[in-house]
């Protein structure tokens, strides 16, 4: 197995995540080929010298790669797993950047045994999309989940761990089912909460159009995730639906508890509820 500086990469999908990975990785590997249907994304990444060459079709770019990274929305990754393996040489490492892991890793388990398949998910991102927003520092100090499959060799996993550390992230091995259950609470539910907040604001009485002028930092910070790429989020919500529904049920119960406390007017109960939320945030967010 080659070391990182000897490896040839192909990244399929040059949106925010794929282009950021190319930008962060390019100084540390032998070459990167980019694949995207968007000519502008290809031109931008090549102009920044994040990729060596750009292609619109995967079969043109993967046959000589040591590592192929699928950086498209989740359901597009599932489609690519049906076609891309046909063009890979034996021993190629195939990984992804998808935000849900169960469906992807199940499909990876069905690939030919000569492919080294490893699920991946960097826990970072922004509410913007596209190669022009890419940032080589996007992964800095972030957790990067790796989900080995039954056919992942220690050497292949070591190379991906080296990649993750080189771009400034922290590798973490995790079971796909546990991953999807937890990110439903920490990532997917917050997105839906932000969307619900903005829809609530849209329904608020505002005859003099003052609401926009009063939407200060609290609203901006809390609603930020509602600006995320809708196509990407639909894929996430559809492929992690069961876990997200469970999270929503817990969230609804928490809201109902708050409604009851406010309706009863007990200040001490409200103080305890709020302090509990405050302490939980301190514990979870460092």
For 146-178, how does the pLDDT look when each residue is reduced to its tens digit (9 = 90+)? 999 988 999 999 999 999 999 999 999 999 999
Res 110: pLDDT? 94
For the chain, give the mean pLDDT: 94
Confidence of residue 204 (pLDDT cuts 50, 70, 90): confident
**End residue of a domain, out of 124, 141, 174:** 174
In this prediction, residue 1 carries a pLDDT of 73
Q: Are residues 161 and 232 in the same domain?
A: no
Q: What is the mean pLDDT of the segment spanning 56-66? A: 95
- Residue 70 reports pLDDT greater than 90: yes
Region 72-76 average pLDDT: 95
Verify that 126 and 233 share a domain, yes or no. Answer: no
Return the residue matching tokens 């996430």: 236
The verdict on 233 and 153 lying in the same domain is no
Whole-number percent of the chain with pLDDT over 70: 99
Return the higher-pLDDT residue of 228 and 97: 97
pLDDT at residue 209, as a whole number: 76
Number of domains comprising the chain: 2
* Structural domain range at position 245: 178-284
Residue 140, pLDDT > 90, answer yes
Report how far residue 81's alpha carbon sits from residue 75's, in angstroms, rounded to the nearest whole number: 10
Position 246 pLDDT exceeds 80: yes
Q: What's the predicted TM-score (pTM) here? A: 0.91
């Amino acid at each position: 197995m080659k070391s990182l500086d000897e490896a040839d990469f192909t990244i399929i999908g040059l949106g925010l995540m794929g282009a950021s990975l190319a930008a962060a990785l390019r100084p540390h590997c032998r070459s990167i080929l980019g694949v995207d249907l968007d000519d502008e994304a290809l031109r931008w990444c090549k102009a920044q010298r994040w990729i060596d060459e750009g292609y619109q079709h995967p079969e043109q770019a993967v046959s000589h790669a040591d590592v192929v990274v699928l950086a498209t929305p989740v359901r597009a990754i599932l489609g690519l797993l049906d076609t891309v393996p046909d063009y890979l040489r034996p021993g190629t490492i195939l990984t992804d950047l998808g935000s849900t892991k169960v469906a992807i890793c199940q499909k990876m388990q069905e690939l030919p045994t000569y492919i080294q398949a490893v699920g991946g998910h960097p826990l970072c991102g922004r509410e913007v999309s596209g190669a022009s927003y890419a940032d080589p520092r996007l992964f800095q100090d972030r957790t990067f989940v790796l989900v080995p499959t039954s056919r992942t060799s220690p050497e292949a996993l070591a190379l991906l761990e080296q990649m993750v550390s080189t771009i400034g992230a922290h590798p973490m091995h995790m079971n796909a089912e546990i991953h999807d259950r937890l990110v439903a609470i920490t990532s997917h539910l917050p997105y839906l909460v932000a969307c619900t907040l903005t829809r609530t604001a849209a329904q608020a009485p505002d005859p003099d159009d003052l609401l926009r002028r009063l939407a200060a930092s609290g609203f901006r910070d809390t609603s930020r995730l509602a600006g995320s790429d809708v196509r990407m989020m639909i894929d996430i919500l559809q492929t992690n639906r069961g876990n997200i529904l469970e999270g929503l049920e817990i969230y609804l119960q928490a809201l109902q508890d708050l409604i009851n406390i406010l309706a009863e007017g007990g200040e001490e109960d409200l103080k305890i509820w709020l302090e509990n939320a405050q302490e939980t945030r301190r514990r979870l967010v460092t």
